[in-house]
Structure formats: C-alpha cells, structure tokens
Amino acid sequence: MSTPRVRGRKSIINLGEFSVLPKGSMQKRRKVSLAILIRRFLGAIILSITITCFFFVHVHVSTSPTDPNNFNEKIHMFRNLQSWTREFVPPHSSKAPPSAPKLNDSSGDPDYEKLWKPPPNHGFLPCTKPTPNYTTPENSQGYLLVHTNGGLNQMRAGICDMVAIARIINATLVIPELDKKSFWQDSSIFSDIFDEKRFISSLADDIKIINKLPKELANAPKMVKQFKSWSGMDYYQNEIAALWDNFKVIQASKSDSRLANNHLPQDIQKLRCRACYEALRFSPRIEQMGKILVERMRSYGPYITLHLRYEKDMLAFSGCTHDLSTSEAKELRIIRENTTYWKRKHIDPKEERAKGYCPLTPKEVGIFLSALGYPAKTPIYIAAGEIYGGESHMTELRSRYPFLMSKEKLASIEELEPFSNHASQMAALDYIVSVESDVFVHSYPGNMARAVEGHRRFLGRGRTISPDRKALVRLFDKLAIGSITEGEQLSKKVNDLHKGRVGLLRKRKGPIPGTKGVDRFRSEETFYANPLPDCLCRKESPPTV
C-alpha cells in the first residue's frame, strides 16, 4: 500500500487502484465505505486462495514419490534377484496404499512356512546342454516359413516347437510372422516383442535362422501346409521332409501344438528348452519395463501374482456365465455365435462349471485366497486384460484384498505408452511379473498359466498354486446355501485339497488312461507347463573324501 500524499486541502489515500476522498456528502462517504469493505473482503479471499495454492503445490512437489531416495529406501528384497535397473515410482502410483504394512518374510515365521516357502527342488537344476552325440546343423534342405497363431504364450510355444521342427527336417528357419488377425488384433512384429539378435545367435549351433526369405525365392512356389497336431519324429522326418524333393520353401500355416509332448529324442527336448528359456527373450525395452514393475511390487514385500482369466473373450469362448447378469450372458453368447473359428456354439454354463471347466470368478478367487490363509494386507498383482464388467465384478475381491495392483497402477501413462496399443506386448509385461512373483495363482489353466508354471519350475521360483476348480465349485455352492461357513472349516478343506498343487517338481504327466487318438494327446500335460525330466537334472552330490 502506498503512503498518503498531501495535495492542498485534500488528502488522498490510495488502496491499490482505488482512492477514497475524505470530504463530500454523507451519502457518498457511506457508499464509498461500503465499496471499500467489499473490495477489501474480495482482495483478502483472492490472497488467501493464492497462498493456499502455492503451499499445496510446494508440498506436493517436495513429497513426490518420484524422489529416488524415498523409493530406494523402500526396496526390500524377499530373495536374491538378478541386478536390475532401478527406476522411480511414477507420481500417480500414489493411488496404491503407500503405507501398506510389509508382510513378514522371515524363514522362521510360521506364516512364511505356510504361505510363502517355495516347494523343495530335490536337487534339480536346469540342464539344457546337448548330449555328446549332438552335431552342428547340416547343410539346409530349404526354408521354413512360420505363421504363428494365437496370443503371446500360444505363439511363444509354437515358435519354440518350430525351432525343433526346423532341426528335425534340416531347414533354415525364417524369423516367424506373428499373428495379427486373431482376437487380440496386435500389429507387433517379431522384433517388437522378442530380442531378435539374441534369438538368432543363441541357436546358431542348432539351426540357421535368417530375417527374411532370399530375394530369389520370394516368388518361388512354396508348399503351404498345416502340420498335424502333436506329431512325432516319424511324421516330420518322412512326410514333411519328403516335400524338399519338390519345394525349396515350406510354410507352416499354424504353429500351435504341432509337436508331441513326449517320446521325442532327448536332444530335441533340450533344444525346445534352450529355445524357450534361453533364446526367446523379450525385447530389451520390454525386459527393462518388466523388471521395473517387479521391483516396484517388491518394494511392498513378497507378493502374489494373480492371473485373473476373466476377460470378455475368455468368458464368451468358454460359455461360463456364473454370477453374470442376463444381459451380460446374452452379450457373451452373441460373441461366441458370431466368432466363426470357435467351433462350440451351444454350451450349458452350469454343466461346464460343475465339471470345473470355468475360470474362477474374482469373488471366488477372493474366498479361495482367504481360505488358504493369505491376509488382507497381501500385495496382489493382477495379470490380466480388461476384466469383464470392470469394477462391478471386482468389488468383492477388492473388499478382501484392497492392495490390488496392476501395470497401469505401478507405471505412469508415459511409461506404458509404447506398449499400450499392443496386447501381446502388454501381456509380456504381465508374464515377467508373474514369473518373478513369490506366489503365482491362476484362475484358469490357459496358455499363459501353463507357460508361467513351466518357466517357474525351470527356474526354481516360488509357489505356483493351481486351484482345483471342480472341487472348489462344490465348496462355493455349499457356502452359498449355508451348509458350510467361512473360517476354520472351509480353510481346512481348501488347504487339504491344495497341499500337492503348489508347483512341486514332478515328472510330466502322460495321457489319461483309456483315451485314444487326438484326445490322448490333448490329455497329456504340455511340455511347456512341465519340462521335467527332459530339461531338469538332479544335481550330483560331491564325492566324499
């Protein structure tokens, strides 16, 4: 405020841009006084708001969770991990409960033994090196083109099978073309998802791999063929290899389940493991972002990854509608009927659920984890696409486990932007967090669940819990009618059912007795869900002196 100035007999008091004259009529003075009060009041309000905003912004910036010291102080390693690039928590991840109490990860704690302790490995370790009889690849007979099909993990398994098939038929493998036309509509090419250079160099002693077909063969006649599912050595060595007599290029129109799970030479099985777990790594940018997500989850202590298979495509395909509204069930039925490559159209949802063929609902998963004994403070990473029905179907799970995280909560929009419009790349991030989790739980044993289970077995990671859905459905139905109640009674039944379903190392299961033909192979445990005994060997005890 400026000081008063004297001009003759009039003194003028300046209030900002307003002036008050002390002389004049009484009416004028009253009007001017009222104007001054109003303006002073408004000025005080504006000043107060300005100070408040300045203080809020200052505090928000100074306490931002992007401070590297704040984040690094929270890092708590539950077990030894490979050295990863440490990044900062993005500002919006403060939506997660930042002060959530960490779980006790001490090996002497009874809860650790019950809930977190990994199953014993019985001395088994990865062993993928070829036998002494294994030779370098012979001169190639021709080129193998591969058109993969399905989602990320279906394509991964198919690519690894095609590596083995290329070895069997003595072919040069052209970098596979990824599926761009399936439900996921992902435009990614091989190098967007996988480390192409590593893939080629890591398998150089097994097969020759090139980026693209030579120009002189671009227009050459080629045999486009759908290889028979679950085929063994004889089929490829005889029927497929015979095609080299007339063609220099063979194109596999599908890649999924084209190789048998069992009864293959040891070196072919080991090659599949080398391809899957050593050569076919994700691209560096996906690996880096995946490791950042893992580290941010670990900052809250040991965590569960829940592969919640409750997306629209899964429910439409399976015909499972338990706990859905009539309109939701109708929408799923229409999707199934209009999807031409889905063969099953008329499905009885009650019958499917009773047989254990349906994924557990988010509500059922919550009951299941509670019965196993996991406390409400447990950090859970949701590895899934968009949950059908959104938050309306997640309410009951969230009420039991409020600390539900996802890549969208752990990373900023800017960090996820390079991956966000590519379903397979987003699935790759979930895959990394799933493999590294302390406990992995799936609601349905699909391609990702099987792939993660096999990878965790191969690496000797923590528990992998496979719900017995058929038995659980019976318990959930009894719970619904009140014949049993949650608590000790339900907990004992659920824990008794799952003592042997925590990812124990065991020999891969063969076909179900009595099954024949294609059903025989379908009933086998898939190679990539359990690579034992082919790619895991028992560590020899050191000789006694």
**Where residue 247 sits, what CATH number does that domain have?**
3.40.50.11340
**pLDDT level of residue 518 (50, 70, 90 thresholds):** confident
Residues 261 and 391 in one domain: no
**pLDDT level of residue 110 (50, 70, 90 thresholds):** confident
Residues 376 and 502 in one domain: yes
Domain termination site, one of 212, 245, 278: 278
Place of tokens 């690579």: 531
Higher pLDDT, 328 or 98: 328
d(C-alpha 265, C-alpha 237), whole Å:
13
**pLDDT digit string (tens) for 202-235?**
999 999 999 999 999 988 999 999 999 999 999 9
Residues 326 and 208 in one domain: no
Fill in the amino acid letter for 238: N
- For residue 91, give the nearest of 430, 410, 429, 416 by alpha carbon: 410
Domain termination site, one of 250, 278, 306: 278
Burial 475-510 (b: 16+ CB within 10 A, else e): bbeebeeeeeeeeeebeebbeeebeeebbebeebee
* pLDDT, the chain, mean: 84
Say which range, 87-101, 142-156, 173-187, 442-456, has the weakest mean pLDDT: 87-101
**pLDDT digit string (tens) for 155-199?**
999 999 999 999 999 999 999 999 987 766 789 999 999 999 999
DSSP conformation letters of 332-369 = HHHHHHH-TT-------HHHHHHTT-SPPPHHHHHHHH
Mean pLDDT of 452-481: 96
**Position 545 pLDDT exceeds 50:** no
**Position 92 pLDDT exceeds 70:** no
d(C-alpha 152, C-alpha 423), whole Å:
8
Residues 357 and 480 in one domain: yes
**pLDDT level of residue 90 (50, 70, 90 thresholds):** very low
Distances (CA, A) of 43 to 40, 47, 49: 5, 6, 10
- The pLDDT score that the predictor gives to residue 26 is 45
Residues 348 and 395 in one domain: yes
Tokens linked to 242 = 């015979």
**pLDDT level of residue 517 (50, 70, 90 thresholds):** confident
> Residue 8: inside a domain, yes or no?
no
DSSP category for residue 278:
I
> Residue 204: inside a domain, yes or no?
yes
**pLDDT digit string (tens) for 335-371?**
999 998 888 999 999 999 999 999 999 999 999 999 9
> Residue 14: inside a domain, yes or no?
no
Q: Which residues contact 324 (CB under 8 A, 6 or more apart)?
A: 315, 332, 389
- The pLDDT score that the predictor gives to residue 303 is 98
Domain range enclosing 530: 284-538
Residues 269 and 326 in one domain: no
**pLDDT digit string (tens) for 241-259?**
999 999 999 999 999 999 9
Taking phi first (over 0 means left), then psi (-120 to 50 degrees means alpha), and beta for anything else, what does residue 211 get? alpha
Domain termination site, one of 259, 278, 297: 278
DSSP category for residue 268:
H
- The pLDDT score that the predictor gives to residue 539 is 74
Residues 168 and 241 in one domain: yes
- The pLDDT score that the predictor gives to residue 42 is 60
- The pLDDT score that the predictor gives to residue 500 is 93
**pLDDT digit string (tens) for 21-77?**
444 444 444 444 555 555 665 666 555 555 444 444 333 333 333 333 333 333 233
Q: Which residues does residue 498 pair with via DSSP β-bridges, in sequence order?
A: none
- The pLDDT score that the predictor gives to residue 95 is 42
Tokens linked to 525 = 């445990």
**pLDDT digit string (tens) for 487-499?**
999 999 999 999 9
3-state SS, one letter per residue, for 154-167: HHHHHHHHHHHHHH
> Residue 476: inside a domain, yes or no?
yes
Distances (CA, A) of 539 to 121, 122, 358, 507, 542: 10, 9, 39, 16, 9
- The pLDDT score that the predictor gives to residue 113 is 87
> Residue 20: inside a domain, yes or no?
no
Q: Is the four-CA dihedral 451, 455, 458, 461 of positive or negative sign?
A: negative
Is there a contact between 184 and 214 (Cβ–Cβ < 8 Å)?
no
d(C-alpha 499, C-alpha 406), whole Å:
28
- The pLDDT score that the predictor gives to residue 50 is 53
> Residue 74: inside a domain, yes or no?
no
Q: Which residues does residue 225 pair with via DSSP β-bridges, in sequence order?
A: 252
**Position 533 pLDDT exceeds 70:** yes
- The pLDDT score that the predictor gives to residue 28 is 44
Q: What is the dihedral of CA 290, 295, 298, 303, to 10 degrees?
A: 0
- The pLDDT score that the predictor gives to residue 398 is 97
**Position 4 pLDDT exceeds 90:** no
**pLDDT digit string (tens) for 380-418?**
999 998 899 988 899 999 999 999 999 999 999 999 999
> Residue 85: inside a domain, yes or no?
no
**pLDDT digit string (tens) for 271-304?**
999 999 999 999 999 999 999 999 999 999 999 9
- The pLDDT score that the predictor gives to residue 341 is 82
d(C-alpha 97, C-alpha 149), whole Å:
40
**pLDDT level of residue 85 (50, 70, 90 thresholds):** very low
- The pLDDT score that the predictor gives to residue 112 is 87
Tokens linked to 290 = 């995946």
- For residue 435, give the nearest of 427, 425, 443 by alpha carbon: 427
- The pLDDT score that the predictor gives to residue 102 is 64
**Position 421 pLDDT exceeds 50:** yes
- The pLDDT score that the predictor gives to residue 35 is 54
- The pLDDT score that the predictor gives to residue 467 is 98
DSSP conformation letters of 420-461 = TT-HHHHHHHHHHHHHHSSEEEESS--HHHHHHHHHHHHHT-
Taking phi first (over 0 means left), then psi (-120 to 50 degrees means alpha), and beta for anything else, what does residue 327 get? alpha
Residues 524 and 410 in one domain: yes
- The pLDDT score that the predictor gives to residue 41 is 59
**pLDDT level of residue 79 (50, 70, 90 thresholds):** very low
Residues 352 and 474 in one domain: yes
d(C-alpha 69, C-alpha 63), whole Å:
11
Residues 219 and 274 in one domain: yes
Say which range, 95-99, 319-323, 459-463, has the weakest mean pLDDT: 95-99
> Residue 261: inside a domain, yes or no?
yes
- The pLDDT score that the predictor gives to residue 46 is 58
- The pLDDT score that the predictor gives to residue 86 is 31
* Total domain count, the chain: 2
- The pLDDT score that the predictor gives to residue 385 is 86
Residues 220 and 337 in one domain: no
Residues 235 and 381 in one domain: no
